A = this chain, B = another copy of it.
Amino acid sequence: MKTLKIFCDLRLTGRALSLFEQGVAPHQVVYPATPAGSVLAQAAFDPGLAEADVAFGQPAVASVLAARQLRWLQVASAGYTRFDTPEFRAAAAAAGLAVTNSSSVYAGPCAEHVLAFLLAQARVLPAALRSQCANGTAEWDALRHGCTLMGGQSVLLFGYGAIALRLVALLQPFGLPVRAYRRRARGDEAVPIVTAEGLPAALGAADTVVNLLPDNAESRNFFTAERFSQMKPGAVFHNIGRGTTVDQTALVAALQSGHLAAAWLDVTDPEPLPPGHPLLSAPNCHLTPHIAGGHRHEAESLVRHFLENFQRFVAGQSLSDRVM
C-alpha cells in the first residue's frame, strides 16, 4: 500500500489529535505552518497542501486548486460556500477530486439547537426566566397563557439536508405537521416537500419557519421583504443556516411591525453584528453567536467522521457526505 500524505489544518489538541494521528497511521500527516482559526474559518494559502493526497480541514481554495496530487478534500464544516462555485466544481471534476463535508457531524447539535429555539419560544423562556411574578397575577396569566403547545404548530423547513432529517426525527413525537422547501423534490423525503410554486401558500400556513439554507448563489438573500410579508401574521422565524440568506433590513421591519412574533437567529451577516445594529434591538429577536454546531466533543466527532471516510477512501469505497 502506498503511504498517503494527509494534510490537516485543524487546530487539533489532546484526545482529538491522538485519535487522528493513530487513526491515519501508518500514513503521513502534513501540518501547515498556521492552522485554521476555527472549524469555520478559512486557513491561509499553504504550500504544504501541494504534495498531499488527502486534505482535512478548511484549506483555502487557491491551495486546493494548486494541489495536483489531491484526490480527496474533507471540509471540517457543514458549509462549503467557497468551494460551491461552478469554477471550483469544474476544476474538481477535471482533477478527479472528491469533496466531502462534515454535515453528519453537525446534524445532531444543529438540530438540537433548533429544537432548543422552538421550545424556548413555545415556553416563553426569555420572558419567563426574567420573571418572578406571583401566581394569579396578570403578568403570570400572560406568561402562562403565552405558552404554546408544540402539537398544534405547523413547521416549514428550508433546506432538506442532514440537519433537517435529524430535526424531523426529533420533532416526530410532538405530532406536528412538518413540511420542507426544497428546490427539487426527490420523492424519498420523510415529509411533504414544497417547491417554488407552492411557496407563498406554504409560507402563509406555517406557524414556524426554520431556515437551514447554506450560503450559495441561489440562497443569498432568499428571505426577502416579499417572503416575510407572505408569512402568517404571528409566525416565528428561525435561522440556523447562514446570515447571508436573509434580507436583515426586511427582517427587522417584520419584527418591528409585529408581523413576525419573534426571530431566533444563530447566524447573522456579519458575525458578530456591529454594535447598534437594528437586529440587536429588534423586538423579540433572540440571537446566539453561531454556536449551533458546537458541543464539547466537536473536534473528536470531526476526527471520527474523517477517519470513517478515510477507511472508505483507502478501501476504494464511496464516501459519506460527498458534495462533489
Could you tell me which A residues sit within 8 Å of B by CB distance? 37-38, 40-41, 108-109, 112-113, 115-116, 119-120, 122-126, 128-129, 131-136, 140-141, 143-151, 169-170, 172-174, 271-273, 280, 286-298
Contacts and interface: CB of A to CB of B under 8 A. Distances in A.
Task: Give me the 9 closest cross-chain CB pairs, A-B, nearest first.
Answer: A144-B294, A116-B119, A128-B288, A38-B136, A116-B123, A132-B272, A144-B291, A147-B295, A37-B136
A123 B133 contact: no
A93 to B, nearest CB: 31
Nearest to A141: B38
Given A147-B291, A149-B295, 5 more contacts: A113-B147, A128-B288, A135-B271, A144-B290, A149-B296
B145 A295 contact: yes
A295 B148 contact: yes
Nearest to A268: B132
Given A119-B119, A134-B272, A294-B143, A125 B288 contact: yes
A174 B135 CA distance: 34
Contacts of A290: 135, 140, 144
B134 A125 contact: no
Number of copies: 2
A320 B32 CA distance: 67
Contacts of A174: 112, 170
A41 B136 contact: yes
Contacts of A113: 123, 147
A119 B115 contact: yes
Given A133-B272, A143-B294, A272-B134, A116 B125 contact: yes
Given A115-B119, A120-B125, A122-B116, A145 B38 contact: no
Contact of A133 (B109, B126, B289): B289
A296 B234 CA distance: 14
A140 B291 contact: yes
Contacts of A136: 37-38, 40-41
12 contacts: A40-B136, A123-B288, A123-B291, A124-B291, A125-B125, A126-B129, A131-B288, A134-B272, A135-B289, A143-B289, A169-B173, A173-B173
A113 to B, nearest CB: 5
A200 B171 CA distance: 34
Given A135-B40, A170-B173, A280-B132, A149 B297 contact: yes
